[in-house]
Amino acid sequence: MSIRILVASFISRRSRVFALGALLVLAAALTHCSSNPAESVKRAGSGAVQASEVTIDPTVTETALFIAGKDLTAQSGLYKFSKTAEYQAFKKQMDASWSRLQESNIRKIEAWRKKFLPGPYNSTIYYPFAGPDVLNAIVFFPDGDDYIMFGLEATGNIPQPQGVATDKLLAGLNGLAAALNSILNVNFFQTLHMQKEISTSAFTSIISVMMYFLARSDYEILDVKKVYIDDLGQVTTDVSKTPKAMIIPGAEMLFRKGKDAPIKRVRYFEVDIEDSAIEKKPNFFAYLSRYARFTTIVKSASYLMHYDTHFNRIRDFTLAQSDQILQDDSGVAMRFFPQKEWKFSYHGVYNMPIPLFQNRFQPELKRLFAEKSTGLLPFSYGYNFGANEANLMFAERVEKKEASGNK
């Protein structure tokens, strides 16, 4: 099997599960529009969004609540439908699934994070091979200002259920509920078959999956838009003058925890990061290099950065640009860390990767975990997703490097 096929298979396995059904029909027929009344607010954060004002699109906010099975205001165009027996049944199911499966896991992560992850950390949170998994980024690093994510999955369209026929809304909600019912019990995207489920169609939109998890985590989504990286490494909404082969599609969301809370930004980009593929798109690293130093999170990354070849550029960039790296054993292999430049802490248990990746076993890592682990992890994380079965390593640079950019 070629490396390119491995990349498509393995990354889709890591990054496509949560989304798998996550959008099904719900986003159906929909494209984003911004013709509704907008609210301008001052940004309170440290500068992820450079403009002094941002625009809030109320239809985006209510769409996210609708997807997540949350209460809508009486002013919402979806309010009447939200009071139907069908939507109330969907809402009840979403509440029960979230409470039973994810809420408990999140509470355990939060308690562990406060004890074992030092602060402060860099405000730019970098998540390679993430797919749409914004959930873990915000749970482990909630004080981030800017979140950068990427994967092979197409971003898809922005959902707009307003005005969609009732039968299509019901079909979408039923599909969403069925998909989430089967995947919320694990904390990783385990999708092999999601490769055919996620596409540019709004029926299976990565954007909608991200909106679901942000809204379900009680974040208010202020705006969502399709963005692109142009040939100069700049983020733009207009690539009419950019050679087609250089365009890197993505999406941007602005969100906050409450009305007076800082406004955060997450960007997701669709890009093949394998060495030979990314050589043709040097604008991606040009874009990443515009940021200041990173705090990095890696999870269920198909062991791609273990390869001696094919993923050298992304591994070298990640090590060079990061001051902190939180990862399971599927991230950067221990042999690639310059040992004198990093200090490490080990959490959980490391025995053997799942059968698909057993050739990526690290004997030295097993010894380090056996000798230095702080104890079992009570939450799900990575391929060995059972409580008390996962592993995490936190690597912190001994001497922090100076920030070199900001965008």
Q: What is the DSSP string of 100-122?
A: IIIIHHHHHHHHHHHHHS-S---
The region, left, alpha or beta by phi > 0 then psi within -120 to 50, assigned to residue 310 is: left
* pLDDT score of 199 more than 70: no
* Cα gap 9→289, rounded to integer Å: 28
Which of 216, 180, 188 is CA-nearest to residue 15?
188
Tens-place pLDDT, residues 269-305: 999 999 999 999 999 999 999 998 999 999 999 999 9
Query: Which residues partner with 40 through β-bridges?
Result: 55
Name the residue with higher pLDDT: 27 or 353: 353
* Percent of the chain at pLDDT exceeding 90: 59
**Geometric angle at alpha carbon 260, from 292 and 265, rounded to 5°:** 30
Name the residue with higher pLDDT: 162 or 297: 297
* Cα gap 115→109, rounded to integer Å: 10
* Cα gap 91→201, rounded to integer Å: 25
Name the residue with higher pLDDT: 308 or 21: 308
Tens-place pLDDT, residues 99-146: 877 888 899 999 999 999 978 899 999 999 998 899 999 999 999 999
* Alpha helices by DSSP H, 249-376: 275-278, 283-288, 312-321, 363-372
* pLDDT score of 14 more than 60: no
What are the C-alpha distances in Å from 51 to residues 32, 256, 303? 22, 16, 38
Instruction: Please report the beta strands in 122-196, taking only residues with DSSP state E, as ranges in sequence order.
Output: 124-127, 146-151
DSSP state of 247: -
Tens-place pLDDT, residues 24-79: 333 333 333 333 434 434 333 345 564 456 788 889 999 999 989 999 999 999 99
